[in-house]
Amino acid sequence: MKNNWRLIKISDFAEVVTGGTPSTKVNEYWKNGTIPWLPSGACQDRKIYSADKFITESGLKNSSAKLMPKKTVVIALTGATTGKVGLLEFEATANQSVTGIIPNEKFVPEYLYFFLISIRKKILFDSYGGAQKHISQGYVKNIKLPLPDVPTQQRISKILMLALNLIDKRKAQIEAIDQLKESVFLEMFGDIPSNSMNWEIKKISEVVDSVVSGWSVGGDERDKKPNEIAVLKISAVTRGEFDPNEYKVIDKNVEIKKAIHPSKGSILFSRANTRELVGASAIIKEDYPDLILPDKLWEIIVNKDIVSTEYFKAIISHNFIRNEFSKNATGTSGSMLNISMEKFRRINIPVPPIDIQKKFTEIFNRIDIQKNHMEKSLIEIERNYNALMQRAFKGELFTQEKLPNV
């Protein structure tokens, strides 16, 4: 059942302030500071419990920084986090890219926090600017939202917080599974930097059958229609698992000169990225005939008589080997780094006997089945959470709403 809640501007029921940054050239504004100071990156659609930087009382008095109380709802105005929010769980200041909505008795901070999360797509659509999109304090002041009585706000907030807690629990379970994988790898193969188990060392060129590069081509950032071809982005592998939805759609009039399609059993490898992400990789578990590789992604086929696909993926994902990729990459400071195929093929890796690798693959695959189940469950919980938010701010949510079980 819907209701007739009025839409009210944030500025009509709350004070809105924007932060500031004390001069970094004045030591007394920062040295031995005790007042938390947050950048816009602290806004991650989560409660904020701590700060990494602090300013002094002098820095607060001699800048436009504002001390915001606990339960202030903060929203990022610019950069990659534009429109993302946070809920302060302590007093803090923030920089000029953060606007704070000061709590009072007229609204429940958690209610406003969830509402702003629910409209981030609209906020991004409304943002303006060239390379760096942004919004203003004035924009935040003029955001309108349905504002029922405080008890109703509290009930809605409680339901949404329960749903968010389910998401956090599921993510923690997935993280624990990843830690289990790391533990199994360490137990079976020892310390990689010191090669503590004295495995045979081989160059990558000795254990792969082929390494092929994709093709440099642009595309549009939109959903792909049937029969269209899309080129993958580097972000398709940066999480360590393949995301087939990270692509750009190629114009139908573009002649595709080199089509390397992700194929089942291969590994995709990012030969160019930031220092931390050079060498990101993912195993492909099915064929994707409607996707092609860009020139910054390679397809690797291993020699399965020497290495298993799962072991090779695990070893090239190890921090020690990833650091080797970065050290061998070229590029100026601040630019995208790149490792050549020749240098990549010369990197040394430990190669245990294939029967031990196969045992690792069996264990790895069993763990992966559990992880896939958890990830599918997470997607469903997140879908329910988003649906709950949409219904909540239409006045369709009841306290009896059933939530998914963990």
Question: For the domain that residue 299 is a member of, what is the CATH number?
Answer: 3.90.220.20
Last residue in a domain, options 351, 369, 388: 351
Nearest alpha-carbon partner for 348 in 306, 320, 308: 320
pLDDT at 255: 85
Q: Is residue 2 one of the residues assigned to a domain? A: no
Q: What is the domain range of residue 254?
A: 200-351
Residues 6+ apart with CB under 8 A from 392: 114, 118, 156, 159, 160
| Both structure tokens of 145 | 């939202």
Tell me the CA distances in angstroms from 256 to 83, 210, 231, 260, one per residue in order.
38, 22, 10, 10
Q: Based on the fold, state whether residues 26 and 80 are members of the same structural domain.
A: yes
Looking at the structure, do residues 160 and 129 belong to the same domain, yes or no?
A: no
Residue spans of beta strands (DSSP E) within 72-213: 73-76, 85-88, 93-94, 98-101, 144-146, 200-203, 208-213
Residue 296 lies in a domain: yes
How many other β-carbons are positioned within 10 Å of the β-carbon of residue 275? 15
**CA–CA distance from 387 to each of 1, 163, 291 (Å)?**
15, 11, 31
- Strand, coil or helix: 354: helix
- Contact (Cβ atoms closer than 8 angstroms) between residue 401 and residue 385: no
- The predicted structure's pLDDT at residue 275: 61
Number of Cβ within a 10 Å radius of residue 385: 20
Q: Show pLDDT as tens, one digit a residue, over the chain (406 residues).
A: 456 788 999 999 999 999 999 999 999 999 999 999 999 999 999 999 999 999 999 999 999 999 999 999 999 999 889 999 999 999 999 999 999 999 999 999 999 999 999 999 999 999 988 767 899 999 999 999 999 999 999 999 999 999 999 999 999 999 999 999 999 999 999 999 999 999 999 999 999 999 999 988 888 888 899 889 999 999 999 989 999 999 999 988 888 878 899 999 999 999 987 666 789 999 999 999 999 999 999 999 999 999 999 999 999 999 999 999 989 998 865 567 899 999 999 999 999 999 999 999 999 999 999 999 999 999 999 999 999 998 999 888 754 444 444 4
Residue 126 lies in a domain: yes
296 and 333 together in one domain: yes
Closest CA to 182 of 319, 286, 323: 319
pTM value is 0.74
| CA–CA distance, 240 with 280 (Å, rounded to integer) | 6
- DSSP strand E in 308-387: where? 337-338, 348-351
Is 180 inside a domain boundary? no
**Phi, psi dihedral angles at 371 (to 5 degrees):** -65, -45
Q: What tokens does 14 get?
A: 């709350």
Q: Do 245 and 345 sit in the same domain of this protein?
A: yes
| Helix residue spans in 6-56 (DSSP H) | none
The verdict on 153 and 31 lying in the same domain is no
Q: Are residues 213 and 332 in the same domain?
A: yes
Structure tokens at 40: 């816009």
pLDDT of 204: 98
In a domain, 154, yes or no: yes
Last residue within a domain, chosen from 319, 334, 351: 351
**Does 206 reside within a domain?**
yes
pLDDT at 29: 96
Helix ranges, 228-350 (H): 309-317, 319-327, 341-346
Nearest to 233 by CA among 264, 284, 375, 220: 220
Q: Same domain, yes or no, for 84 and 167?
A: no
- Count of Cβ atoms closer than 10 Å to residue 102 Cβ: 15
User: How far out from the chain centre does Cα 216 lie?
Assistant: 25
Domain co-membership, 142 together with 204? no
Contacts of 261 (CB under 8 A, 6+ apart): 287, 288, 289, 291, 292, 293
Q: How far apart are the first and last CA of the chain?
A: 28
- Predicted pLDDT of residue 404: 43
**112 and 227 part of one domain:** no
Pair 385, 317 in one domain:
no
347 within some domain: yes
For residues 136 and 145, what is the distance between their CA atoms, to the nearest angstrom?
18
Measured CA to CA in angstroms, residue 360 lies from 103, 145, 264 at distances of 53, 53, 20
* Within a domain: 215: yes
Same domain, 339 and 371: no
Q: Which residues pair with 46 in a beta bridge?
A: 86
Report helix, strand or coil for 317. Answer: helix
User: What are the distances in angstroms from CA 354 to CA 34, 306, 313, 350?
Assistant: 56, 6, 14, 12
How many domains is the chain built from? 3
Same domain, yes or no: 206 and 341: yes
